[in-house]
Amino acid sequence: MKRSDFLTPAARLEDAMRKLEHSWVATKELWDDPVSQKVEEEFLIPIHAQIRCLLDAATKLSSVMRTAEHECSHPREHRFSL
């Protein structure tokens, strides 16, 4: 049975979030006014929180799926599980 992979896409999303945060820090050095603060408050802070929740959920879901796949597999497959 093929294992579901939730962690690889989650890692790519986490990497993208880090790149966005790094770019935003660089941008704030040049753009610091009420509009930039509004962008940060309305978009960047909420998306950061949403991505953190998604990453936590992906980790939990991966664990649940690994357990379910193990429990649904044939006993001979257990010794070959990763």
Q: What is the pLDDT of residues 20-76, one digit of tens each?
A: 999 999 999 999 999 999 999 999 999 999 999 999 999 999 999 989 888 888 777
Q: How many CA atoms lie within 13 A of 55 on its CB side?
A: 15
Look at the block and give the residue holding tokens 């790149």: 19
Q: How many residues does the chain have?
A: 82
Mean pLDDT along residues 9-29: 96
Provide the pLDDT for residue 75.
Answer: 77
